[in-house]
Amino acid sequence: MPSDASPPKKRLLIRTWGCQMNVYDSARMADVLAPLGYAPTELPEEADMVILNTCHIREKASEKVFSDLGRLRGVKEEKAARGERMILAVAGCVAQAEGAEITARAPYVDIVLGPQTYHRLPEMVARVSRAAGAVIETDFPAEDKFDHLPETAAPSGPIAFLTVQEGCDKFCSFCVVPYTRGAEFSRPAAQVLAEARRLVAGGAREIALLGQNVNAYHGAGPDGREWGLGWLLREVAAIPGLARLRYTTSHPRDMDEDLIAAHGELPQLMPFLHLPVQSGSDRMLQAMNRGHKAADFHRVVEKLRAARPDIALSSDFIAGHPGESDADHAATLALIREVGFAQAFSFKYSARPGTPAAGAGPQVPEAVKDARLAEIQALLRDQQEAFNRSRAGAVMEVLCTGPARHPGQMAGRSPWLQPVHFDGPAQLAGQIVPVRITAGHPNSLAAEWLGGAAKAPPSHQEIRAA
């Protein structure tokens, strides 16, 4: 009898921390391993391979990884006692920054790989299977990993992520990204467009373009010219069937006039932008090496609101960066009040080894950082709740993402990225439908479905013709 050439089924568990780029990377690692027979599981006990895709941004990131590794060690040893093998891998930014420490503290880890090397996973798995000892791949390879990845698998829902840019050249004093992700690199526009078309063909209605510094995108265009993010957005928006478009994360220094103009031109480009400012104090912005002043941020916001009056903003804030005074903190609160944010993320400064701020002084006492963070978060919470409540009575289009927690209820996303809940049939999943907002809550919106589906936005060609 002829043998079945397909590989035997194995189970893969990927746990992902951090940003949306890590979510994208995890999906691509699953794509890379699928030809080896790996299918997803959520249970460590079932897994033949577990990958922890890590993030180095949050406080005590590495300790959380080692804590999870300790739990997985027990599962791995139990499987070994039954004669079963579990390959345990640590990927992402913690792996890139602390690969040697991981293998020293957790010698039972089989693979340590950085964000630029996951296209080599099949080779790493083969090497682990052939010999004992850990495989460490944390270099920055000369080849473009995107050239070695398989075509994107169909998305699991109506929202898809697409990495278009990696790395950062800004070297903010508090940030490890330039050290863990490397220098800025932009994918060729044709490669991005081909992947976007595959995502739409697979059912994606909304695509978010991702990058550590996405608006620094400067990829080679098929016309031989260098494209900025504004032009790339225009071409992605022209893909038939794509209804919504977003991008994240941005730097105020890279919000050029063409990109701002795209916000006024493209109905597919949602009226919500995450634009981290970190501080409202010019003295702190200089200490952070941000390369802009508070007034520069205000000017960008004014231009964005002139181009797209309904745009809402999100941002990042750090409380207690080394050297921050009471006056610096007050300047941050003033900027928040003056600009107004629909959402925001705020964090207490936490030193990252190897970054300039880690050795800078004076360090702000923990109690002071805690108090300042509480003030920032209270103000941001008030603004977010006020923005959500201001939506009450509005009719808007919501992208249905699937059933909500309660029977007969659907969940979706507003154009401003707010979670929306309303009564409706499960068949609405993946559709964009009109709803009327009945109430705004601190973290979500309640709505009633108005029946039917929303009209598709005009194409880029239609916009150009107009």
What CATH number is associated with residue 133? 3.40.50.12160
Tokens of 46: 């079932």
Q: Are residues 120 and 163 in the same domain?
A: no
Q: Are residues 185 and 298 in the same domain?
A: yes
Q: Cα-Cα-Cα-Cα dihedral of 429, 430, 435, 440, to 10°?
A: 80
Q: Are residues 411 and 369 in the same domain?
A: no
Chosen domain end from 118, 137, 156: 137
Instruction: Output the known binding site for [4Fe-4S] cluster.
Output: 19, 55, 93, 168, 172, 175
Tokens of 6: 């397909």
What integer pLDDT is reported at residue 240 of this predicted model?
Answer: 96
Q: Write the single-letter amino acid at 343.
A: Q
Q: Are residues 109 and 216 in the same domain?
A: no
Residue 206 domain-assigned?
A: yes
Residue 370 domain-assigned?
A: yes
Q: How far apart are CA 212 and CA 172, in angstroms?
A: 12
Instruction: Output the known binding site.
Output: 19, 55, 93, 168, 172, 175
Q: Are residues 207 and 350 in the same domain?
A: yes
Q: How far apart are CA 315 and CA 148, in angstroms?
A: 34
CB-based contact 188:203 (threshold 8 Å) = no
Residue 4 domain-assigned?
A: no
What integer pLDDT is reported at residue 464 of this predicted model?
Answer: 42
Q: Are residues 412 and 375 in the same domain?
A: no
Q: DSSP class of residue 310?
A: T
Residue 1 domain-assigned?
A: no
Q: Are residues 186 and 207 in the same domain?
A: yes
Closest by Cα among 377, 320, 382 to 345: 377
The enclosing domain of 181 has a CATH number of 3.80.30.20
Q: Are residues 312 and 443 in the same domain?
A: no
Q: Are residues 332 and 190 in the same domain?
A: yes
Q: Are residues 292 and 380 in the same domain?
A: yes
Residue 464 domain-assigned?
A: no
**Quick one: CA dihedral 262, 453, 428, 456, positive or negative?**
negative
Element (DSSP H or E) covering residue 333: helix 326-339
Q: DSSP class of residue 414?
A: -
Collapsing DSSP to helix, strand or coil, 199 comes out as helix
Residue 345 domain-assigned?
A: yes
Average pLDDT per consecutive 10 residues, the chain (466 residues; last block may be shorter): 56 87 85 87 93 77 84 92 91 82 89 83 83 63 53 70 90 86 90 94 94 94 95 97 95 97 97 97 97 98 98 97 97 98 94 85 94 97 97 97 92 96 94 96 96 58 43
Q: How far apart are CA 432 and CA 404, in angstroms?
A: 16
Q: Write the single-letter amino acid at 21.
A: M
Q: Which residues form the domain of 204?
A: 145-390
Residues 6+ apart with CB under 8 A from 377: 346
CB-based contact 138:114 (threshold 8 Å) = yes
The enclosing domain of 436 has a CATH number of 2.40.50.140
Chosen domain end from 120, 137, 154: 137
CB-based contact 21:163 (threshold 8 Å) = yes
What integer pLDDT is reported at residue 178 of this predicted model?
Answer: 83
Residue 462 domain-assigned?
A: no
Q: How many independent structural domains does the chain possess?
A: 3
What integer pLDDT is reported at residue 399 of this predicted model?
Answer: 96
Q: Are residues 385 and 399 in the same domain?
A: no
Chosen domain end from 390, 411, 432: 390
What integer pLDDT is reported at residue 318 of this predicted model?
Answer: 96
Q: Which parts of 45-154 fold into alpha helices (H)?
A: 61-81, 93-105, 121-130
Q: Are residues 245 and 347 in the same domain?
A: yes
Residue 326 domain-assigned?
A: yes
